[in-house]
Structure 1
């Protein structure tokens, strides 16, 4: 990064703090929204879980700070120095590249998540890094970012790293972050929000929803993916869907 002037350091700090606030605010708003939807659609599902939910919120807001720092550094580097491959001109790449870039980001993120997730299920690593997340039994809409700091670090570096490697329009990056947020929450809500026609379809055979991820929280050593079931199918760790 080289030496930074005092204004440069201040701008970097402000960017990191701003992104931390954005990540934390996004978490509270989106998890709160889906918790409200749960209250309306499944009354009483979270009854008696106030203590667990408070714990999930605590760990999630701590994770927001860990996610916010690399995001803030990337935002600062992009705006101040043009370090990343984020672009704003729609004509910079062919139109077909925009959806492809979204898929590449999601697939790369899913690949990283699958293998780090399997690693965190090794007994010693699990006790240190992943037990916090699995303390949510069953998970709620507030559990999507309920991570130990070690686990949060493994998740926080992925998208910031990818923007240095894969060109992506800023709007498509926003779409990636939206998908990441919605999938992270809906997979942990404790019930299936998507229609069974999708979940049990040929497409659903390759996508992860709450029905798939809930089985991971039940059996631990299966269904490790984040968005897609590709690696679970390929590696023989897919155990089908549950009925949350």
Structure 2
């Protein structure tokens, strides 16, 4: 049993690491094409980001691997595979529920990480990326990585979700984590400045967080920032 758990944890760590390399690598290449030389002098910083990110991959991968083993071997979790197990309307609902709960957890833990003690201890690693790059999405101190790594593994025990929708949650988490750190806005201005865009977080919104620190703490949505008065709008530099 222990060997199977270790294999599952190692496999999931490898998957998380490869997912990081693929996503960050693709958007780093896009950055190089769209803004040539934008990160030309950031070689040492990018190497640090990659190093911290590989450590984070293990911290994310180990609990995910244990949960995956428990689901496959013992039916733990609320993950389901049949399309008829729940009504079809529940598929988009479960997607939104996961993203909203993840965003809620991220907002409040992120604000905690900006308290002086926690910032010095952990979150300063992430903000050492000046400016952030596509490689910085998982560049966390292990303490901060742990706060992020437990969310989805806990949610799958509480909220039913189709395995395909879970994959979409992870894809959204990966893509938004990377694109929000590129330092430039890849989405159309018409979307970013629309009513819908006013509730979504893109690079323009998160870039201002890296510039001002004490604002724009959300991950996917601007709901908690707006509600709590920490939304400062969009960066003119992204």
Instruction: Please say whether Structure 1 and Structure 2 have the same fold, judged by a TM-score greater than 0.5.
Output: yes
Q: TM-score if structure 2 supplies the norm length?
A: 0.99
Q: TM-score if structure 1 supplies the norm length?
A: 0.97
1:4 is aligned to none
1:46 is aligned to 39
* Residues 1:111 and 2:86 aligned together: no
1:93 is aligned to 86
How big is the shift at 1:102? 0.4
The whole-number CA distance in structure 1 between the counterparts of 2:58 and 2:76 is 22
1:234 is aligned to 227
* Residues 1:16 and 2:9 aligned together: yes
How big is the shift at 1:135? 0.2
2:95 is aligned to 102
* Residues 1:79 and 2:72 aligned together: yes
For residue 65 of structure 1, the aligned residue among 58, 68, 91 is 58
1:191 is aligned to 184
| SS of equivalent to 1:184 | helix
The whole-number CA distance in structure 2 between the counterparts of 1:71 and 1:40 is 34
How big is the shift at 1:123? 0.4
1:127-182: CA deviations, max 9, x gaps? 00100000001100000000000000000000000000000000000000000000
Q: Following TM superposition, where does structure 1 have runs of at least 4 consecutive aligned residues deviating by more than 2 angstroms? A: none
The whole-number CA distance in structure 1 between the counterparts of 2:67 and 2:186 is 33
Structure 2 counterparts to residues 151-170 of structure 1, below 5 A: 151-170=144-163
Unpaired runs of 5+ residues, structure 1, are 1-7
The whole-number CA distance in structure 2 between the counterparts of 1:77 and 1:215 is 41
For residue 143 of structure 2, the aligned residue among 150, 154, 160 is 150
For residue 220 of structure 1, the aligned residue among 210, 213, 226 is 213
The whole-number CA distance in structure 1 between the counterparts of 2:26 and 2:125 is 23
| SS of equivalent to 1:91 | coil
Unpaired runs of 5+ residues, structure 2, are none
How big is the shift at 1:47? 1.2
1:178-229: CA deviations, max 9, x gaps? 0000000000001001011010000011000000000000000000000000
1:102-132: CA deviations, max 9, x gaps? 0000000000000000000000110001000
2:48 is aligned to 55
